[in-house]
Amino acid sequence: MNFRAFLIKYAEIGIKGKNRYLFEDALMKQIRRALRRIEGNFKVTKEDGRIYVMAEDDDFDEEDVYSALQHVFGIQGICPMLQVEDEGWEKLCETVVSYMKETYGEEENYSFKVQARRARKNYPLNSNEICYKMGEAILNEVPNVHVDVHKPDVMLHIEIRQKINIYSKTVKGPGGMPIGTNGKAMLLLSGGIDSPVAGYMIAKRGVVIDAVYFHAPPYTSERAKQKVIDLAREVAAFSGPINLHIVNFTDIQLAIYEKCPHDELTIIMRRYMMKIAQDLAEKTGCLALITGESIGQVASQTMQSMAVTNEVCTMPVYRPLVGFDKQDIVEISQQIGTFETSILPYEDCCTIFVAKHPVTKPYLKIIKRSEQNLNGVIEELYETAINTVETVWCESEA
């Protein structure tokens, strides 16, 4: 059966009262954005507590609709649905019987249950009567099926509204909250596996994402930069367009390399990254930073290192992967489609200036003392880095 209507299911927790229409409107906006990327003409509408996607003609592929909507946070499920006019009970029974036969086969052996909802109270039958009578009609017309009210194979929903909705299948959505229902945050996006996943996870909570990448030409190549742009585009398939701010970090890194103990390079460099990211975040209206850090993954992610790095931040820093094992992160990156790009072998600015034996338990006092060696040089470099930021608008190409 070809469906032209889809019921969008979303979690209703926490979206009572005034928040509800904000949530629904944001969700509809993101649904429209996702559907613009596929072939077909669609209408997105809402009717108390329900969002519908309706194709205006048959020029579309049902699978495209699912894959587009599986990128829209806030959607719990997508139900292909038959929506019909109310033309009387007999006609409804006929429609439902042929729906069951077409969807599940004429001779198949399966159990079902009818779940009815009557939003229009003047309908002549109440919900229980609809369930009972429709169950009977199906048993009479479809051979080999039986009713199981506890664990049915098929849960058939019949909703009496202005029109009548008939559905029984759900394609899983990504969950989360619609983009735009929370604030904006600045993702520190490198070319690695972790940070795209971290951005995805925070975007999933409805947060708009801006990103910053620290580029160190000529030590890092144009290809390394392009890889980060590609990753931003891949995350944007879920989060919506991302403004990627590219900071030229070379001179700051060289200054640190020249003036500070080499075993402290990474930690001092990371403190500067966080500072710059925070400045950009404040300028662009972001309320938090996001990183892909996870406890103990590398020397710069021991608890001591993270404490010292964090000390420069006044803004909250979200580290959604902090308790994740690498393998778990890899699995998410494969699911969301960033893994293949992340493992391309281009150099990373952190790896070029990295010491053989970086400190793993830095002391804030000592690090601050080393940073004093930068006084008189770093201020101008910092200004220049901030003032020469290149911003690239990254939109999904999928």
**Mind giving me the DSSP string for 307-353?**
HHHHTT--S-EE-TTTT--HHHHHHHHHHHT-HHHHTS----HHHHT
Smallest separation (angstroms) from ligand ATP to the CB of 333: 9
Site of interaction with Mg ion (CB under 5 A): 190, 192
Among 24, 194, 210, 234, binds ligand ATP (CB under 6 A): 194
Q: How far apart are CA 103 and CA 93, in angstroms?
A: 15
How far is residue 67 from each of residues 259, 330, 394, measured CA to CA in Å?
A: 52, 21, 20
> Least Å distance between CB 66 and ligand ATP?
30
Interface with ligand ATP (CB under 6 A), residue from 42, 293, 341, 396: 293
Distance (Å, whole) CA 293 – CA 323: 9
Nearer Cβ to Mg ion (142/269): 269
* Residue 338 contact, options ligand ATP, Mg ion, none, Cβ 5-8 Å cut-off depending on partner type: none
Please identify, among the stretches 10-18, 160-168, 193-201, 279-287, the one whose residues bind ligand ATP according to the rule CB under 6 A: 193-201
User: Does residue 341 touch ligand ATP according to CB under 6 A?
Assistant: no
Taken in order 307, 196, 203, 170, the sign of the CA dihedral is negative
The CA-CA-CA angle for residues 335, 336, 342, to 5°, reads 100
C-alpha atoms less than 13 angstroms from C-alpha of 76 in its C-beta half-sphere: 7
355 binds, among Mg ion, ligand ATP, none (CB under 5 to 8 A by kind): none
250 binds ligand ATP (CB under 6 A): no
Which is closer to Mg ion, CB of 42 or CB of 213?
Answer: 213
What amino acid occupies position 128?
N
Residue 268 contacts residue 256 (beta carbons within 8 Å): yes
Q: Which of 7, 138, 186, 189 binds ligand ATP (CB under 6 A)?
A: 189
Residue 326 Cβ vs ligand ATP, minimum distance, rounded to whole Å: 8
- Establish if 24 lies at the interface with ligand ATP (CB under 6 A): no
Cβ atoms of residues 37 and 69 within 8 Å: no
d(CA 44, CA 155): 25
Q: Single out the residue of 3, 7, 85, 4 nearest to residue 46, CA to CA.
A: 7
Return the half-sphere exposure (C-beta side, CA atoms, 13 A cut-off) of residue 120.
15
Q: Applying CB under 6 A, does 192 fall inside the site for ligand ATP?
A: yes
Q: What's the residue count for the chain?
A: 398
Q: Which of 298, 366, 386, 392 binds ligand ATP (CB under 6 A)?
A: 298
> How far apart are CB 329 and ligand ATP at their closest, in Å?
8
Tokens of 366: 């000592």
Binding test (CB under 6 A) with ligand ATP, winner from 83, 168, 181, 195:
195
Q: Report yes or no: 264 and 233 within 8 Å, Cβ to Cβ.
A: no
Instruction: Tell me the site size for ligand ATP, rule CB under 6 A.
Output: 19
Q: Which of 368, 215, 359, 184 has the alpha carbon at shortest distance from 282?
A: 184
CB of 350 to Mg ion, least distance (A): 6
Binding flag, residue 253, ligand ATP (CB under 6 A): no
Span from 124-132, 135-143, 177-185, 295-303 in contact with ligand ATP (CB under 6 A): 295-303
Give the SS3 label for residue 7. strand
- What does 293 interact with, of ligand ATP, Mg ion, none (CB < 5 to 8 A by kind)? ligand ATP
What's the closest the beta carbon of residue 304 comes to ligand ATP, in angstroms?
14
**Of the two residues 42 and 324, which places its CB atom closer to ligand ATP in the complex?**
324
Q: Which residues bind ligand ATP (CB under 6 A)?
A: 188-190, 192-195, 212-214, 291-293, 297-298, 300-301, 349-350
